[in-house]
Structure 1
Amino acid sequence: MDIKQMHYFISIVENDFNISQASKILHISQPALSQTIANLEKNENIILFERAHGRLQTLTPAGDVLYQHAKEIIQKYDDMIKDLQEESTQLKGTIKIGIPPVVISVVFPEILPTLISTNPEIRFEIKEAGAVELKKDLLLQELPIAVLLRPTGLDSSTVEEVVIRNDTLSAFMSSQNPLAQKDNLQWTDLHNQPMAIFDSSYMIHHQLLNKFSSQNVKPQLYLQSASWDLLLNSTRNSNLFTVLPTPVAQYYSSPDVIRKEFKHPLRWEVVLCRRKKKRYSRIEDYVFNYMKEYYQSHKKG
């Protein structure tokens, strides 16, 4: 019994025992496929299929045993071929990474250019979206790597999480805003105040609404946006305030906008995530570990 025979056998089973359909997928003739299975049964002295009126109906107990083992063998064979092919080439290919826009600006300004310039054979596709959307894409296997915010709500048995930044959220407002006169803020200070906030695709949106609910605070939500610079700019000549990651202050310089800390701030914990699986591509493993090691050696917060 060889790999090709096992592959043909699995294809028949997974096409509902329809030899005609399996032969089309395998790009061989139906008689040739039937003969291959007949030879396999004869050579191994086993009956793999229950038959009725000349048609395959289901697997025999022996066929079921072969099916389970053959699937494992084919998977290991495919993994071996991929490993050999990857070992014979440089790191080359495409990797998709999901990162929220504010995280790109605050956490990734140095590492991304370095990672890209030192790996010219790797094509990086960066998806910028809120953590809520990126979490969904990670679970749907549309993204191999995603940068999210805790609490992620992900199962630690299926997703690996590495903390790459630990900070807080702060309030940003015009220097003329009445709240600007306070040394620091209580959450209750925000009650009935006009506010600009991230839209619901962002985890910070949900963190804040949960906090407001727990404190019985009801700000007036005048603006919701996916753009953190729009949120900041909206506060410059108005009484609007917004709540953003504290490090944003380092990347946004305007004498018209000031930052105020909360006495009991919400945490802003950024995590690098990937699904746990038996095998990662070389590129996926390399990029994830590169980023993980970089942030562990440049840890802030």
Structure 2
Amino acid sequence: MNISDLQSFIAVYHLRSISSAALELNMTQAALSKRMKALQCDLQIQLINTENRRQLVITEAGDLFYQYAKEAILRYDKLQLDLNDYRKMNTGVIKLGIIPVLAQYGITQLIGQFKQKHPSFNFHIIENEGVNLLSSLTEGKIDASILRDTQSNLLQDSLYHKIPLVNDELVVVVPASHPLTRKAKLKPQDLANLELVTLLKGSGVYEPVITRFKSCGIEPHVFFESAHIETIIEMINHSQRATFLFKKSAEPFVTPAFEMRSFSPPIYSQQQFVYPKATRLTSIGEFAKQLRQLFQYKITSEQENI
């Protein structure tokens, strides 16, 4: 039994579903089922009952185990944070994780502006998918990260600061000649029979899209997954396919050959600057404050130029 086993059980406990928990944990349903069986075998007691395929049931032992697992995770997270602070107290470098599409939000320029005003700050910037940055943050491998709220929501508010930076809307992108452009807004039912192209699992795009489809009882036909927006746009060009992107991320790539449509109801997400409350690096708090001010200034300037 390890920390990953505890985290997996907590997800199953919260969602009461192996399939939903597997999606949240970015693993296959079969792998999660195998992990739960191994955990129960290790403990020599049944924690969950899956005989009823419609409703997963937590046993009394499962309820008790959840309380201890939750406390163990809290203690483990605090241990990692405390040890990591001791490891890096003398480095003077902030390790900052960012998701790949942040270039479209001007984050690299904002960091450059901040460094000009505060030359004593040093950064090691690491670009990765949100789900990987989330793991790096909880394991203490990075000091802070800019994440979508779809990922930061998995972190406990009692342990992490989550500073809002900018909101964005998840939209459907189709070729300009696509029949769906006749509609102002789209529902999963409109897309049910289409081949869909999407960013990878863990991107912060895949998860809310799949959740919206499944909430309507529709299994989406995902034809192609990629980590690159350019590839995704090319895959839907001259076709009847559709893809999903956040509006600000998509704008540099959406030429007149493509059109964007909102979901009905719309799906919004927020970029957040996330860092541990227990950090000993006071520079992170100062950077978070300045970064938010720079984002707000950028947003105000863009609105004035419209």
- TM-score scaled by length of structure 2: 0.63
Distance 2:243 2:199 in 1: 9
In structure 1, the partner of 2:195 is 194
How many pairs were matched up?
Answer: 214
Equivalent pair of 2:163/2:288 in contact (CA under 8 Å): no
Equivalent residues in 2 for 1:277-292 (5 A)?
A: 277=278, 279-282=280-283, 284-292=284-292
**Which amino acid is 2:294 matched to?**
Y
Using the aligned pairs only, state the percent identity.
20
Distance 2:252 2:105 in 1: 7
Equivalent pair of 1:106/1:251 in contact (CA under 8 Å): no
Equivalent residues in 2 for 1:229-240 (5 A)?
A: 229-240=230-241
How far apart are residue 272 of structure 1 and its match? 0.8
In structure 2, the partner of 1:132 is 131
Partner deviation per Cα, 1:238-280 (whole Å, 9 max, x = no partner): 2221111112343224121111122211112111100011622
Gaps of 5+ in 1: 1-74, 86-91
Equivalent pair of 1:145/1:288 in contact (CA under 8 Å): no
How far apart are residue 164 of structure 1 and its match? 0.7
Say whether 1:95 aligns with 2:94: yes
**Distance change >3 Å, CA 254–CA 296, structure 1 → 2:** closer
Partner secondary structure for residue 236 of structure 2: coil
**Distance change >3 Å, CA 172–CA 207, structure 1 → 2:** same
Partner deviation per Cα, 1:105-142 (whole Å, 9 max, x = no partner): 23525413322444445442221111111111111111
In structure 1, the partner of 2:60 is none
Distance 1:254 1:295 in 2: 26
Partner secondary structure for residue 234 of structure 1: helix
In structure 1, the partner of 2:64 is none
Partner secondary structure for residue 157 of structure 1: coil
Partner deviation per Cα, 1:6-38 (whole Å, 9 max, x = no partner): xxxxxxxxxxxxxxxxxxxxxxxxxxxxxxxxx
Distance 2:244 2:229 in 1: 10
Equivalent pair of 1:173/1:257 in contact (CA under 8 Å): yes
Partner secondary structure for residue 209 of structure 1: helix
Question: Greater Rg, structure 1 or structure 2?
Answer: 1
**Distance change >3 Å, CA 229–CA 112, structure 1 → 2:** farther
Partner deviation per Cα, 1:134-154 (whole Å, 9 max, x = no partner): 111111111111111114221
Say whether 1:221 aligns with 2:222: yes
Equivalent pair of 1:167/1:268 in contact (CA under 8 Å): yes
In structure 1, the partner of 2:49 is none
**Distance change >3 Å, CA 254–CA 191, structure 1 → 2:** same
In structure 2, the partner of 1:294 is 294
Partner secondary structure for residue 261 of structure 1: strand
Equivalent residues in 2 for 1:99-118 (5 A)?
A: 99-108=98-107, 110-118=109-117
Equivalent residues in 2 for 1:200-211 (5 A)?
A: 200-211=201-212
Gaps of 5+ in 2: 1-81
Distance 1:142 1:121 in 2: 22
**Distance change >3 Å, CA 278–CA 113, structure 1 → 2:** closer
In structure 2, the partner of 1:256 is 257
Equivalent residues in 2 for 1:28-107 (5 A)?
A: 93-107=92-106
Distance 1:219 1:148 in 2: 25
Equivalent pair of 2:185/2:262 in contact (CA under 8 Å): yes
Distance 1:235 1:109 in 2: 29
